[in-house]
């Protein structure tokens, strides 16, 4: 019998055994022929996962925040205008990052649990000459997903570089970066990509690369400067050794294994699986009588669910009881409602059985908190979706 609690938070997630095996293998040299081949394969596979055949991949040791910063510091120069579409905590972080590097920032804030209106976005783009627009595909703090395809169209229409924060979406939510006109789509390893934390991942399209090459001032961060990393990426993809900073060898080996698994599943099949997991979890939450932070199912993420606690139940009471029943869930993150809701991650390696076990653990926790509901109703609702 397994003596293990399911990790069902919005990252880090549960990882596949082969990924963990690659992470735990003996470390080789970063210029060994076998590692050069692995790194080259990973870069090539990233284009297929991002669905961006003309993109330039970057793999750098760091967190998702480094990926956000790399996009900003390489594309923004002091005085450039930037538009931030804020649907939660991470939109605010992007606004702060942009201002730190001298951008003139305009923020369009969505009502809590909602998305920014597309007509309002277009009207704002018409008002000024923006160089860059950022969007959080799925904001981990609210579980809200934006219409990245429609926003990519607006970016192209108004000549604005679009930067998509895909930390909680890439390899889970549908994303066709090149077809949708997204100039930069960035992520981190520990979510739907399916690798333990430690890798900042970017896919940079041709227009963003051209804008970077045309900048008039030097990039103000040495470590994040694409000038230092592009020759490394190009060398490894050409199967040649190169060096700027020592890459995290085992993490990149694990990344290559995970990308191979993702492509083996197939991108469309993976998008469908994540949608079904998301729908099943949300059906369970509704059946248990709980509301959710996203105000409309049409913009609720497939990769996580953000339910409000039932009346009379607190997180300090419920979450430890759910853990004792077999699943670790995450508390709230958005400062306005932090103590009123919690989050369930269901991405990457999550299987239907994992989700059903998690809903069962949630029911056990709710029962232990004396919350009144029809026992088994959440599991049954999730199962109906999964079997449909």
CATH 3.40.640.10 spans which residues of the chain? 17-265
Please tell me the CATH code under which domain 17-265 is placed.
3.40.640.10
Instruction: Decide if 243 contacts 176 (C-beta within 8 A).
Output: no
Instruction: Decide if 133 contacts 85 (C-beta within 8 A).
Output: yes
Give the model's pLDDT for residue 4.
83
**Nearest-5° Cα angle at 266, 270 to 194:** 55
- Give the domain 266-387 fold: 3.90.1150
Question: What secondary structure does DSSP assign to 107-152, as a single string?
Answer: EEEPPTTS---HHHHHHHHHHS--SEEEEESEETTTTEE--HHHHH
**Residue 63 tokens, joined:** 């967190």
Q: What is the pLDDT along the chain (388 residues), one digit of tens a residue?
A: 357 899 999 999 999 999 999 999 999 999 999 999 999 999 999 999 999 999 999 999 999 999 999 999 999 999 999 999 999 999 999 999 999 999 999 999 999 999 999 999 999 999 999 999 999 999 999 999 999 999 999 999 999 999 999 999 999 999 999 999 999 999 999 999 999 999 999 999 999 999 999 999 999 999 999 999 999 999 999 999 999 999 999 999 999 999 999 999 999 999 999 999 999 999 999 999 999 999 999 999 999 999 999 999 999 999 999 999 999 999 999 999 999 999 999 999 999 999 999 999 999 999 999 999 999 999 999 999 999 9
Give the model's pLDDT for residue 124.
98
Shortest CA distance to 378 belongs to which of 292, 298, 286?
286
Task: Please give the distance of CA 126 from its chain centroid, rounded to a whole number.
Answer: 29
CATH 3.90.1150.10 spans which residues of the chain? 266-387
Give the model's pLDDT for residue 2.
57
Give the model's pLDDT for residue 1.
36
């Amino acid at each position: 019998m397994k003596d293990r609690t399911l990790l069902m938070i919005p990252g880090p997630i549960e990882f596949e055994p082969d990924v963990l095996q690659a992470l735990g293998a003996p470390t080789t040299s970063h210029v060994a022929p076998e590692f050069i081949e692995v790194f080259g394969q990973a870069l090539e596979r990233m284009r297929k996962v991002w669905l961006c055949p003309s993109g330039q991949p970057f793999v750098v040791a760091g967190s998702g925040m480094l990926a956000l910063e790399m996009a900003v510091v390489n594309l923004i120069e002091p005085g450039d205008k930037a538009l931030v579409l804020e649907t939660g905590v991470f939109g605010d972080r992007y606004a702060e990052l942009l201002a730190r590097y001298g951008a003139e920032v305009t923020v369009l804030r969505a009502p809590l649990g909602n998305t920014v209106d597309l007509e309002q976005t277009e009207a704002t783009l018409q008002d000024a000459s923006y160089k860059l627009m950022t969007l959080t595909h799925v904001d981990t703090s609210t579980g809200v997903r934006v219409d990245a395809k429609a926003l990519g169209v607006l970016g192209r229409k108004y000549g604005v570089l679009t930067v998509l924060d895909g930390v909680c979406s890439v390899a889970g939510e549908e994303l066709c970066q090149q077809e949708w006109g997204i100039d930069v789509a960035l992520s981190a390893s520990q979510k739907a990509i399916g690798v333990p934390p430690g890798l900042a991942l970017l896919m940079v399209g041709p227009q963003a690369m051209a804008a970077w090459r045309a900048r008039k001032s030097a990039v103000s961060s040495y470590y994040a400067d694409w000038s230092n990393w592009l020759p490394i990426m190009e060398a490894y993809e050409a199967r040649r050794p190169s060096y700027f900073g020592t890459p995290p060898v085992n993490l990149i080996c694990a990344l290559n294994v995970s990308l191979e698994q993702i492509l083996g599943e197939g991108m469309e099949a993976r998008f469908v699986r994540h949608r079904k997991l998301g729908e099943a979890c949300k059906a369970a939450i509704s059946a248990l009588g709980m509301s959710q932070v996203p105000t409309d199912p049409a913009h609720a993420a497939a990769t996580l669910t953000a339910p409000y606690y039932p009346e009379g139940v607190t997180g300090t009471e419920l979450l430890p009881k759910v853990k004792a029943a077999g699943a670790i869930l995450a508390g709230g993150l958005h400062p306005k409602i932090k103590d009123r809701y919690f989050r369930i991650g269901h991405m990457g390696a999550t299987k239907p059985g994992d989700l059903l076990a998690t809903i069962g653990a949630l029911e056990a926790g709710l029962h232990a908190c004396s919350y009144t509901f029809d026992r088994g109703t959440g599991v049954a609702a999730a199962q109906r979706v999964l079997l449909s």
